[in-house]
Structure 1
Amino acid sequence: MIEVGAAIIENTAGEILIARRRSGKSQAGLWEFPGGKLEENESVESCIERELREEMNIEVRAGAWYGANEFDYGAVQIRLIAHKALYISGAIQLVDHDEFRWVRREELGAFHFAPADVPFVERLQKESA
């Protein structure tokens, strides 16, 4: 099972950062909460902070645990572990994604998310109700 960290980043306007996987990547064309695979002996918080630096050129501080989902993609099984994260600095520059958006919770349903991210989308939508 591959462990993956995901960041739930909310800006001061109450919008959440989502990103679309670029062509040539697994889950290409699907939206996700940004993050990536944990390296050996790496905490989820450190992974999120490193991945956002590497994949989006931004600094974040990982905070409270938000939840974990397991999903079987057939060839690979992942455990997606989400933490809330605070955006600190940097202008977003995409590496593994071809688009990003800041969206309100009630808008999340308009995007086609990777299956492992869907439970987080549903939880965020319920929190906005």
Structure 2
Amino acid sequence: MKRVHVAAAVIRGADRQILLARRAAEQHQGGLWEFPGGKVEAGEVVRDALARELAEELGIEVRQARPLIQVHHDYPDKQVLLDVWEVSAFGGEPHGAEGQPLAWVSPQQLDDYPFPAANQPIVTAAQLPERYLITPQGLEPGELLRGVRQALAEGVRLVQLRAPNMFDAQYRDLAVDIQGLCAGKAQLMLKGPLEWLGDFPAAGWHLTAAQLRQYAAKGRPFPASRWLAASCHGAEELALAAQMGVDFVTLSPLQPTQTHPDAAPLGWDKAAELLRGSNIPAYLLGGVGPEHLEQAWQAGAQGVAGIRAFWPQT
């Protein structure tokens, strides 16, 4: 069965809302909502196909777009490759040129709309930011609180509280305080034993590679309404993350780092190869910073994660 190559768009308006279209009843997966787009013709460049399809379907001209995620999905009757781009600037007023209903929705509202199964990683990618801040180790709780407060003021929207050298009780107390700081501003990801899950219902959980190997076969430890992430370092762990149904991963180390000098770096080419084999939104980690965002997107990543590169200079 030949895999159908589709160019699709997460189109963001000036208010960051996202444009959806509803599939006609007679179409494959009819009646469900989708991110606009259509088939890539033989020999056609993906971005050109996207621009053509959006002009035909919505009457808009794409002015700014970049890769977001690629998704391979096998339906019983069809195999698809969704080549998804984020469109952040366009000309014209979108309208259903083919009679299809349209809706502008917030990223959070995406969870309320029924999509084809292949679209779930796109929904996640559309909801996640491009930067993932991981807190440095070795800081006192007061320093961590000040740094997180400043990072939130600077627009960070995804924070992992990583403090491997803290006593459990101290970490848990700090998690309560930082959860309060993040409320309404950013998603907090915690680390630790899964027995703690019930104590922090508003937080997501970031699994270590060891936890991923231990728990993957059991599936998600909590419902899809909470974020679940995992640390991955190669194809085997990416496959375990998919088996477990995690929402996103970090893939590391991309380049040599001070914190893990003995770890063999993946390099950009290997990272891109691994991401092509995975449908999970991934942040590249290790020796990268904001200046590597464009390169990360071209490699197929959601964005970049970092410790020192994103930690405010308080």
Equivalent position to 2:5, from 3, 11, 18: 3
Matched, 1:17 2:33: no
**Structure 2: which 5+ residue stretches go unaligned?**
130-156, 158-186, 188-314
Q: Percent identity?
A: 34
Letter in 2 for 1:102: W
- Cα distance in 1 for residues equivalent to 2:128 and 2:9: 18
Conserved? CA contact 1:3–1:38, under 8 Å: yes
| Structure 1 stretches lacking a partner, 5+ long | none
> Larger radius of gyration, structure 1 or 2?
2
1:79/1:97 Cα in 2 relative to 1: closer, same or farther (>3 Å)?
farther
Contact 2:22 2:102 (8 Å CA) reproduced: yes
Which residue of the partner structure matches residue 75 of structure 1?
Answer: 77
Amino acid at match of 2:78: V
Q: For residues 61 and 117 of structure 1, do their structure 2 counterparts lie closer, same or farther at Cα, with a shift above 3 Å needed?
A: farther
Measured after TM superposition, the shift of residue 61 of structure 1 is 3.1
Q: Which has the higher contact order (CA 8 A, sep 6+)?
A: 1
**What is the 5 A alignment of 1:1-129?**
1-61=3-63, 63-96=65-98, 98-127=100-129, 129=187
Report the secondary structure of 2:49's partner residue. Answer: helix
Q: Distance in 1 between matches of 2:117 and 2:6?
A: 13
TM-score by length of 2: 0.39
Q: State the TM-score, normalizing by the size of structure 1.
A: 0.90
Cα distance in structure 2, aligned partners of 1:112 and 1:87: 26
Is contact 2:65-2:89 (8 Å) kept?
A: no
Tell me which amino acid in the other structure corresponds to 1:18: L
Choose between structure 1 and 2: higher strand proportion: 1
Shift of 1:18: 1.0
Structure richer in helix, relative to its length: 2
